[in-house]
Amino acid sequence: MTHIHRHEDSRGDLVELTYFCSDFCHEDWCKESGETYEGWDGCHEIYSPEVCASCEKQLSYFDEEQDEFISR
């Protein structure tokens, strides 16, 4: 299941999501990019193909048109 890093603007509105294959990749990416790691935020289902922002692994997702889980 996917881990997510949430990006907010100065008003606190969500403006972007960054996806990861694991909490390790999430925390490592935060250290490298200077972002604040705000703890575990995993176990999310996604509905389109995405790549881990840290290790570039293809993430599994649910394809609603085919009604199936695409595991990578």
Query: Domain ranges in the chain?
Result: 3-70
9-28 residue pLDDT tens: 999 999 999 999 999 999 99
Count of other CB atoms within 10 angstroms of residue 62: 13
29-67 residue pLDDT tens: 999 999 999 999 999 999 999 999 999 999 999 999 999
Sign of CA dihedral 10, 30, 33, 22: negative
Which helix (H) or strand (E) segment is 31 a member of? helix 23-33
Q: What band does 1 get if pLDDT is binned at 50, 70 and 90? A: confident
